[in-house]
Amino acid sequence: MKLSNLAETLIGSEIVKLGGEIREKIRQGEKIYNFTVGDFDPSIFPIPHELENAIVEAYRRHFTNYPAAEGNLDLREALATFMKDSGGLDYGINEILVSSGGRPLIYATFRAICDKSDKVIYAVPSWNNNHYTHFVDGQHIVVEATAENNFMPTADDIRPHIKDAVLIALCSPQNPTGTTFKKEELEAICDMVLEENERRGPGEKKLFVMYDQMYRLLTYGDTNHYDPVTLRPAMRDYTVFIDAISKCFASTGVRVGWALGPATIIHKMRMILTHVGAWAPMAEQKAVAVYINRKEVVDEFLRHFKRELEERLQRIYKGLSTLKNEGLPVDAIAPEAAIYLTIKIDLVGKKTSEGQLLKDQSDVTAFILNAAGIALVPFYAFGADRSSPWYRLSVGTCKKEEIDEMISALRTTLQSLS
């Protein structure tokens, strides 16, 4: 059956494939330490109690009809205050667009800016930029980020490719790495974009930045979150922010996200999503408008939530560091933000106790899952080279009492190799 070129050429998700294998193993009674999903186990990390109550109350008050296409006015007003207070971003209600989470907003950003064959720059590993570029039939300009820079792209990485590019897709804190832009590096990228746009003539399309800051409130220790517009106010004309309650409030299924950006772009994005019908549900919008205005309640939730996430990330990082110091072939980058830890398992070329040669990273991923019961997402699932030995480890479903036994299982598995 012949279908559209888009349908015929879409790439299947490695994460979905791996998730299916894990579910089947769990169904068969196997013990699996599942660190794959960028989501939360609600029995460990429930949504804020006050938000839950506000959602229930909104449904009881029958807020069940269509919301405004751009997002309800009360929510956009609340978001304007929330973003100014929590992030220093001062945007008016006509510069804010609400949708059912961040994904429709990312899609609308690509659609509003990119034409067929336009150059889109994104670094790998990163989440889904390859698929969104494919949706708009854009030209993929892929920058391979490195461990030396904590897998964050640099201005020097991007600079050779900016001529005629129309969009740079950036994310900080980064999914899948849990790392962040340093102030100086993001400033350098902003200066490069501003210089390039100054060079372009009146009839040329400008170079825009999509800045996904979904995890901005989840930073740890001395890590600070930086954004283009605060660092370089002139970037306001060229930046679209993507944000949501999904990650910072353990509310992935509640589906309320928002974009901030120039009113002209936001208006076009609204028109696109009007035809898609990607509105956040009315009741959830009403509830979020109430909840995020309760600053003390929000701050208390975040203090507890961040403490629990950071403890898990730090304990796993220290456990992996111990294995590394024992001479085992693992490594990790110290956690900075989000719910992810970047870890390295370098086993290609080694043999199992049964004599099986681990000939590539796919073999390594399967071996760690089958022998140690540890499920991780390889960076090649995020567009990195298939030979990359690096992985994303997510703690959204991690039970603290299982961390030590997981590290022990990994130690035993690694020691069995020759």
The string of pLDDT tens digits covering residues 263-274 is: 999 999 999 999
Question: How does the average pLDDT of the chain come out, rounded?
Answer: 95
372: DSSP letter:
I
Q: At what angle do helices 73-87 and 282-291 cross, to 10 degrees?
A: 40
Tell me which of 12 and 79 has the higher pLDDT: 79
Take residue 344 and report the two structure tokens written for it: 């390295």
Take residue 193 and report the two structure tokens written for it: 């974009």
Give the mean model confidence (pLDDT) for residues 124-129: 94
Q: Do the domains 49-294 and 5-45+299-415 match in fold?
A: no
Judged by DSSP in three states, 79 sits in helix
What confidence score (pLDDT) does residue 11 get?
Answer: 81
Class of the CATH domain delimited by 49-294 = alpha beta
Domain-by-domain residue ranges, the chain? Answer: 5-45+299-415, 49-294
332: DSSP letter:
E
- Cβ atoms of residues 380 and 361 within 8 Å: yes
What confidence score (pLDDT) does residue 154 get?
Answer: 97
pLDDT of 18 strictly over 90 = no
The architecture in CATH of the region 5-45+299-415 reads Alpha-Beta Complex (3.90)
Q: In angstroms, rounded to a whole number, what is the distance separating the alpha carbons of residues 233 and 40?
A: 35
What is the layout of strands, in order, in the sheet containing 257-260?
96-99, 257-260, 239-244, 208-212, 165-171, 119-124, 139-144
Closest CA to 292 of 102, 98, 44, 80: 80
| Phi, psi (degrees; rounded to nearest 5) at 128 | 70, 5
Peptide bond into 173 cis (omega under 30): yes
Give the mean model confidence (pLDDT) for residues 145-174: 97
The string of pLDDT tens digits covering residues 21-73 is: 888 888 888 899 999 989 999 999 999 999 999 999 999 999 999 999 999 99
323: DSSP letter:
H
What confidence score (pLDDT) does residue 220 get?
Answer: 97
What confidence score (pLDDT) does residue 20 get?
Answer: 80
pLDDT of 17 strictly over 90 = no
Output the CA torsion sign for 380, 384, 388, 390.
negative
pTM: 0.95
